[in-house]
């Protein structure tokens, strides 16, 4: 290991994580500030102009203040290429994320909006890439993409949207809960709340959890994904099949609060997933569990 100071053992998560020590941080790149700087700039390249165009379109169509939007990815750190870089936008806030989603679904259907879904070679390439990285076939990736509202094309440039909670919406603090691994399992469950599935991690509250279709797993209340592909793909009442790391969630005193299935762990070695049973071929509604 060449840079051990950037890796530490997290006791709450029972694993090693990468992190930058506070005394090693030289500059904090903020997506909202970067977008604001682009809006105020007098000289922009073609990709930066397109980024402002997409953000302005979503702001207007969704009734979301531009101050609630930001830009991340290569454009954030000014390392982008006008020839092949994508546009990655951040949306701050639960309600703002919902409105941007609704706006995008409307813009996809509006002729001449400049916004469209992946199709043709771009869609095939995306599906192929997902099938290589994740344990499902190209046809399953294509069905999954129907549910991915936050990835499309704007004026011939691929974009993605990343919903992010604001500080007052965060309900958990590091060190308040401890996660004890119980092994890799495969189970089915019913989604009863997908309100927090927009974000990273994507959280689905579930019930009727069955292990191998036979044994009910009592106390498993959540499916949590640190893999963004599975964000906001399942709705209230839908059945999902999930493979991931079963974890006991303990409070600071060591008492069991509930259990969860985690997707996106190093232990699973990219064999974990969330699949919606009988993926719909049509456009989904925007309803979430209350």
Measured in degrees and rounded to the nearest 5, phi and psi for residue 123 equal -65, -45
E runs forming strands in 19-176: 69-72, 87-92, 115-116, 151-154, 157-164
Distance CA 223, CA 260 (A): 6
**Residue 279: its pLDDT value, please?**
53
Q: Is residue 279 a contact partner of residue 140, using CB atoms and an 8 Å limit?
A: yes
Asked if residue 120 is part of any domain, the answer here is yes
Output the CA angle 161-162-163, nearest 5 degrees. Answer: 115
Please tell me the pTM assigned to this model: 0.91
**Residue 147: its pLDDT value, please?**
95
Q: Is residue 90 a contact partner of residue 72, using CB atoms and an 8 Å limit?
A: yes
Neighbour count for residue 215 (Cβ, 10 Å) = 10
Let me know whether 39 and 150 are in one domain.
yes
Asked if residue 7 is part of any domain, the answer here is no
Asked if residue 205 is part of any domain, the answer here is yes
Let me know whether 129 and 251 are in one domain.
no
**Residue 214: its pLDDT value, please?**
66
Asked if residue 129 is part of any domain, the answer here is yes
Asked if residue 44 is part of any domain, the answer here is yes
The residues of the chain scoring below 70 in pLDDT are 213-214, 279-290
CA distances from 134 to 41, 129, 206, 244, 268 (A): 40, 8, 23, 13, 11
Q: Is residue 88 a contact partner of residue 162, using CB atoms and an 8 Å limit?
A: yes
**Residue 287: its pLDDT value, please?**
44
**Residue 286: its pLDDT value, please?**
40
Let me know whether 153 and 95 are in one domain.
yes
Single residue among 138, 167, 196 that ends a domain in this structure: 167
Token pair 């793909």 is at which residue? 233
Look up residue 197 and give its DSSP letter. Answer: G
Let me know whether 175 and 163 are in one domain.
no
Distance CA 234, CA 289 (A): 10
Single residue among 167, 193, 208 that ends a domain in this structure: 167
Let me know whether 56 and 161 are in one domain.
yes
């Amino acid at each position: 290991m060449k840079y051990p100071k950037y890796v530490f053992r997290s006791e709450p998560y029972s694993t090693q994580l990468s992190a930058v020590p506070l005394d090693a941080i030289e500059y904090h790149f903020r997506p909202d500030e970067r977008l604001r700087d682009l809006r105020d700039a007098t000289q922009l390249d073609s990709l930066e102009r397109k980024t402002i165009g997409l953000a302005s379109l979503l702001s207007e169509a969704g009734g979301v203040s531009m101050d609630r939007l930001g830009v991340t990815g290569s454009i954030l750190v000014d390392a982008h290429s006008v020839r092949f870089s994508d546009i990655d936008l951040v949306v701050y806030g639960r309600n703002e994320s919902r409105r941007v989603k609704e706006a995008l679904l409307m813009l996809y259907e509006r002729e001449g909006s400049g916004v469209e879904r992946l199709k043709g070679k771009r869609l095939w390439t995306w599906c192929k890439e997902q099938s290589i990285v994740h344990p499902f076939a190209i046809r399953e990736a294509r069905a999954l993409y129907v549910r991915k509202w936050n990835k499309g094309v704007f004026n011939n440039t691929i974009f993605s949207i990343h919903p992010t909670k604001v500080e007052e919406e965060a309900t958990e603090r590091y060190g308040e809960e401890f996660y004890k691994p119980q092994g890799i399992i495969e189970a089915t469950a019913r989604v009863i709340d997908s309100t927090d599935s927009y974000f990273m991690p994507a959280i689905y509250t579930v019930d009727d959890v069955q292990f191998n279709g036979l044994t009910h797993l009592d106390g498993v209340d959540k499916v949590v994904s640190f893999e963004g592909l599975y964000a906001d793909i399942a709705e209230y009442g839908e059945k999902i099949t999930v493979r991931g790391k079963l974890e006991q969630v303990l409070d600071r005193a060591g008492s069991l609060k509930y259990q969860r299935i985690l997707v996106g762990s190093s232990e699973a070695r990219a064999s974990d997933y969330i699949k919606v049973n009988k993926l719909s071929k049509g456009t989904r509604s925007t309803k979430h569990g209350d």
